[in-house]
Amino acid sequence: MIIRNAKDEEMPYIREQRVISYEEHAKKIPDGHWQALKRGILSESDNNPDVERIVAVADGSILGSVVLFPAKTDAYDGYVEKLDYPEIRMLAVSPQARGKGIATALIHECIGRSKAKAHKAIGLHTGEFMEDAMRLYERIGFERVPQLDFVPADDGIVVKAFRLFFKEKEISQKHT
């Protein structure tokens, strides 16, 4: 498996792959929430030149993707203050490729890129209905940050915040 930056021409495919990857959650949440989530993962918010679009590829096929928003960016359309650390967004793995460590590899790539830029932490938000994702984040070492949770729709579904602080010795010294 190779992890690399996504190419512009791959983005329409990646956005559709996100929808397919997230569809399993559609039956767990109200239709209005699903439609809003779907609009978000299909949006072109990842077109900002400072946003890193990352893919995992094997045998010429994109197996998964993730977006890394830079620190001090409005990654959530005003729901969360601009944070001092990068945010992982829109992590998606093709249903056929699950269970092979792709999501973990993509998360570690985001962590490595953030450390290389001398950030002290990395964060993410995920819907409370994404139990498998939350277990993965916690297994990697992310901790809950409830004060940064938000409810994007009037349906009571909480988007939960997580953050991982890096040990000082792990952070690149070339930017300090």
Contact in structure between 41 and 12 (CB atoms under 8 Å): no
Give pLDDT, residue 55.
98
Per-residue pLDDT of the chain (176 residues; tens, 9 = 90+): 999 999 999 999 999 999 999 999 999 998 888 988 898 888 888 888 899 999 999 999 999 999 999 999 876 666 677 789 999 999 999 999 999 999 999 999 999 999 999 999 999 999 999 999 999 999 999 999 999 998 887 788 999 999 999 987 766 655 44
Query: What one-character DSSP code corresponds to residue 89?
Result: E
Q: What is the DSSP string of 47-66?
A: GSTTSEEEEEEETTEEEEEE
CA angle 149, 155, 161 (to 5 degrees): 15
Residues 38, 153 contacting (CB under 8 angstroms): no
Residue pair 83/72 in contact by the 8 Å Cβ criterion: yes
Query: What's the CA gap between 69 and 50, in Å, rounded?
Result: 7
pLDDT of residue 136: 96
pLDDT at 161: 95
Q: Is the pTM of this model over 0.95?
A: no
Which domains are seen in the chain, by residue range? Answer: 2-170 (3.40.630.30)
